[in-house]
Structure 1
Amino acid sequence: MHNSADNATIELEQRLQAASERHTNNPHDLSIIWEAIEILTVLKREDRLLPWADRALALSPHHADFRAMRATALNLLGRHAEAAGMLAHDLSTFGESAIYRLRLGYSLMMAGDLARAIPLLDEVRQIADSMHVHAEAESLLGEAMLKAGDPRGFTHWQMRSDSGDAFSYRPADIPEWTGEPDLRGQRVLITHQLGFGDNFLLAACVADWRAAGASMMITCAPQIHQLMQASLPDCEVVSMESPQQSHAPLPDAVQARVQAFAPHLHATLLRLPLLNASHPVSGYRFRAYLRAPSTKQQIAREWAQQLRSQHPGKRLVGLFWDCRQRHMPELGSIARCWAARRSLPLEMLNRITTNPAVTERVHFVNLHHPLVEAQAGTPAGDVSRYLPGIFHFDDTAACIGELDAVFAVDSAVANLAAMMSKPTCVPVNTSGDWRWGTQGTTTPWIEGATVLRQTREGDWDSVVQDAATWLTAQ
């Protein structure tokens, strides 16, 4: 039985099909193309705009909106260099506005052209005539600098909090931390934001704040509360849902705990690295700190002993290959396409799990939550599940703690394994996240992580070959 949202989607898809048929009979009717573009936008399928934008540009080659749509579609498909080339070509015609230069800066950054992206994004943040464009440009500038291995990028990257994609609780009655390095005697409230992987990575900086003398209270999502509580024993860790709107107030129950803690200062998760990592010298690394609760560790130890007895002499390696967001169209095309590009197709994974040279030495363990296995698919070969069950991330951590290594795409699981100091291999697409660096098989940010990079967008062949080499060397 369909609900109203499903019915609306079905109706839009029928309209799109009808528009496609009308376009076949009337290929020069621009109004039909506009209708198809509008429907795809409402459906949050902007990644499918490319053929329609091309049809529109064939009729109206210099139309700014169609050219912008084409660049958007190219970026969503991972064809960033093409998007940057198109936007750069149009710069003299359409490039006076800050928003146009922002689009070019983003495409250049994602294409890996940091030498051009960084000064352009710096220029945009200075000329932006709106707070949103300024915040977006500054956030992207920070990301580009971090991709280049420059820790000063954290100063700019924190503007994600103001660019609309990283909501955070910001209590109005607690002064914001302004960068003072001496925190002796200060009680500090840290409120969370972003995804689980970002929480796992950035909370490593709590140790820096504790070393500076601060007493800490940190909030986190319920799914990771037990894990964070076990991993940050010197902090008060508070469970609460992630905010759904910018500057949302603290929930009443949490507010009572905060009042009892009586913080002197507040900072968001994004600001944690600024204490020690925003200096012009390179070399800052996130230090491993995560560990499962002791009770979960014991359960995992007993499970691992049994599994090792069944596979004597083999290394146990965890697998995580599919980002769930790619199956969630309601999140929009940006989140969905980015998740799809980060995910390793099951047929590529199967080449690893059935490789005789690998399976002779390695036994694999599926690290996916059971509820998402139906979408991720079942790997070929002999791949075990964590039989005590994965319900929350403390279970995942307990399992990882008993493994010899983890092979995981850019995800919360990869961040979790790396922040547990477990040998971690991360396959990334051509424009991987800043934390995985941009060159070679290492990253300047995380010790012990091996990064396998696509050389051509969507082509995992060389990555699969390199993964087999890495696995047989474990």
Structure 2
Amino acid sequence: MSPPGDRLETATQHHRAGRYAEAVSLYEAMLADGQGGNDIRARLASALRSDGRPAEALEIYAALEPELLGDVDFWFNRGNALAALGRHAEADTCFIRAIEIDPERTYPILNRAIARAHLGDSAGAIALYRRVLAIEPDHRVATHNLANLLADRGELEGATLLLRDAVKRWPDLAEAHYNLGLILLRRGDYARGAAEYEWRWQTPDFFARPDYGDIAVWDGRPFPEKRLVVHAEQGLGDTIQFAKLLGLLKSLGGDVILHVPEPLLPLLRSLPFDITVTSHHRPSEADFQIPLMSLIHRLKLTPGAIPAAPSYLAASPDRAAHWADRLNLNAAQPIIGLVWQGNPASPVDRGRSLTSAAELAPFANFEGVRLLALQRLDASRLEPAPTASGWRVRDLPFMLEHPGPDLDADGGVFMDTAAIMTRLDLVVSVCTAPLHLAGALGRPAIALLKAVPDWRWMMGTDTTPWYPTMSLERQASGEDFGPAIEKAVVRAREIFSRTR
């Protein structure tokens, strides 16, 4: 058996190097042999938490509490274990105890700021980050996190200053470059914002970059008699939006091949450009390659240079005729299509979706108008109804028709939705892929946007250069979606008064 000091040193080395399982084994062995007391138990709990076993760590912390009431690291690490389990209110209490013991120690203040942000207290988190920076002005995490919180609250000038300072002080901090890019794009500064946005691939939590082997990245210059592969990235809505730029790209020379996920093939093959759309590729088939959302950078676009074409995708005529007959879309009665929920698993879903379709009830007061859900729902969220399709959305105080659980079930993603949209008078949607689809089809549409939306909608405008037929209704800071929905109803009436 190794001397206690040797085993502790080895365990500590494993712990510091991130080899947590090895550290756990040694700490447990020492305790089993009667070597070490509360210090080793606390180290074991910390290693267990870092090894993804926070519940086990909390059992140890509960037993240690009477012995370590005045220990900063005990309360800090216990708070981290609680935070790992999503128990942020309890974690907050632990961080408060740690700060009370040592008010100048920055790491409990920092983690309390993170807990307050998780609890929705952005003002409290901002104050705590500022407290960290008052003690330690060069604290990188506090600087970056504070900037992001300010950006989330719409305080873009302060966020921009912080992130510009961050990329100067820590030029390799990819997250700072990326987040600065998002803010600059949101402010309409496409030139500098798009360049910073290129750092997205170097951030740890971003989508994996497609592997195109040794194919050179296109640098933005004309490419006559060459072949360029453009590969889709991120979400379906992103692909639909940025496909608009492929006509500009084609004007620069040679062949353009667009690689998209297979379910998008039928829809994207309706693009009016002389390009190839496929879901397969071979490393030898191109001279250059570029991610789709890098086109804004390589083409040196400004908001005013986005192609003004009102539509660039088309629905299948056969499907449009099928759905028009099935849903009785040829009647004179106006019809509004509604979408209220993005993908709840998406990291960008926070704040962009409605809690339920019930929030759209003000549209039910629109006399003489049919309401049709364009949200894909399974049969459990529908109920039989005396509607053209035989279905309506379940448990609503107003009639919201639904095409049925087979909507977009085959033939490619959004093919049915696109066909139905072509026969509607208006689409109202939160920020999700069907909203982009409505814009790409050139349909009259109203976007319901949170107070600080995704960068592509910029700030302070009620129109977007990406989709000329779309209007934007935004939350005010601190509001729910209610006022924006009421304004959307008024705007819908204005649209109908002009078109019918």
Q: From 289, 309, 316, give the equivalent of 2:335.
A: 316
Contact persistence 1:139–1:160 (CA under 8 A): yes
Whether 2:217 is the aligned partner of 1:176: answer yes
Structure 1 or 2, whichever has the larger Rg, is 2
Give the drift of 1:176: 1.0
Change (3 A) 1:221 1:18: farther
1:35 aligns to what?
78
1:202 aligns to what?
242
Equivalent residue of 1:172, what SS? coil
Change (3 A) 1:356 1:322: closer
Equivalent residue of 1:297, what SS? helix
1-structure distance, mates of 2:166, 2:90: 29
Letter in 1 for 2:246: V
Whether 2:166 is the aligned partner of 1:149: answer no
Letter in 2 for 1:437: M
Give the drift of 1:208: 1.0
- Which deviates more, 421-430 or 263-272? 421-430
1:248 aligns to what?
none
Letter in 2 for 1:267: I
Give the drift of 1:188: 0.4
Change (3 A) 1:351 1:156: closer
- Which deviates more, 187-196 or 155-164? 155-164
Contact persistence 2:75–2:97 (CA under 8 A): no
2:360 aligns to what?
352
2:399 aligns to what?
382
1-structure distance, mates of 2:335, 2:69: 57
Give the drift of 1:302: 2.8
Whether 2:271 is the aligned partner of 1:228: answer no
Whether 2:157 is the aligned partner of 1:115: answer yes
Give the drift of 1:446: 3.7
Equivalent residue of 1:157, what SS? helix
1:327-366 aligned within 5 A: 328=345, 335=347, 338-346=348-356, 349-353=357-361, 357-358=365-366, 360-366=367-373
2-structure distance, mates of 1:193, 1:97: 33
Contact persistence 2:132–2:139 (CA under 8 A): no
2-structure distance, mates of 1:214, 1:76: 49
Change (3 A) 1:66 1:411: farther
Whether 2:440 is the aligned partner of 1:422: answer no
Q: From 189, 192, 206, give the equivalent of 2:232.
A: 192
1-structure distance, mates of 2:362, 2:483: 16
1-structure distance, mates of 2:145, 2:128: 11
2-structure distance, mates of 1:47, 1:275: 45
Contact persistence 2:364–2:398 (CA under 8 A): no
1:138 aligns to what?
177
Give the drift of 1:366: 1.1
Q: From 454, 461, 466, give the equivalent of 2:482.
A: 461
Give the drift of 1:146: 0.9
Contact persistence 1:429–1:453 (CA under 8 A): yes
2-structure distance, mates of 1:463, 1:293: 33
Contact persistence 1:341–1:458 (CA under 8 A): no
Change (3 A) 1:179 1:307: closer
1:14-49 residue CA offsets vs partner (Å, 9 max, x unmatched): 9989989999xx9988746743532432x4676985
Change (3 A) 1:53 1:372: farther
Give the drift of 1:469: 1.5
1:368 aligns to what?
375
| Structure 1 unaligned residues grouped into runs of 5+ | 1-10, 240-253
Equivalent residue of 1:364, what SS? strand
Equivalent residue of 1:139, what SS? helix
Whether 2:426 is the aligned partner of 1:405: answer yes
1-structure distance, mates of 2:336, 2:64: 53
Give the drift of 1:168: 2.1
Change (3 A) 1:54 1:407: farther
2:296 aligns to what?
273
Contact persistence 1:168–1:192 (CA under 8 A): no
Letter in 2 for 1:38: A
How many residues were matched structurally? 423
Change (3 A) 1:71 1:452: farther
Give the drift of 1:65: 2.8
2-structure distance, mates of 1:458, 1:17: 41
State the structure with bigger RCO (CA 8 A, min sep 6), 1 or 2: 1
- Which deviates more, 403-412 or 462-471? 462-471
1:303-354 residue CA offsets vs partner (Å, 9 max, x unmatched): 35x1453xx43x21111112232xx4xx7xxx2xx424111122xx425336
Contact persistence 2:143–2:162 (CA under 8 A): yes
Q: From 323, 326, 339, give the equivalent of 1:300.
A: 323
Contact persistence 2:256–2:276 (CA under 8 A): yes
Letter in 1 for 2:229: L
Contact persistence 1:190–1:218 (CA under 8 A): yes
Contact persistence 2:76–2:94 (CA under 8 A): yes
Letter in 2 for 1:37: N
1-structure distance, mates of 2:470, 2:314: 17
Q: From 233, 249, 254, give the equivalent of 1:214.
A: 254
1:7 aligns to what?
none
Percent identity over paired residues:
21
Equivalent residue of 1:343, what SS? coil
- Which deviates more, 295-304 or 214-223? 295-304
Contact persistence 1:81–1:111 (CA under 8 A): no
Contact persistence 2:110–2:132 (CA under 8 A): no
TM-score with structure 1 setting the length: 0.77
Letter in 1 for 2:276: E
1:86-127 residue CA offsets vs partner (Å, 9 max, x unmatched): 423432323304333222222222222222222332232232
Q: Name the Cα RMSD after superposition.
A: 3.5
2-structure distance, mates of 1:118, 1:424: 32
Contact persistence 2:247–2:273 (CA under 8 A): no
Equivalent residue of 2:148, what SS? helix
Letter in 2 for 1:383: L
1:276-287 aligned within 5 A: 276-278=299-301, 282-285=303-306, 287=309
Give the drift of 1:194: 0.8
Give the drift of 1:453: 1.9
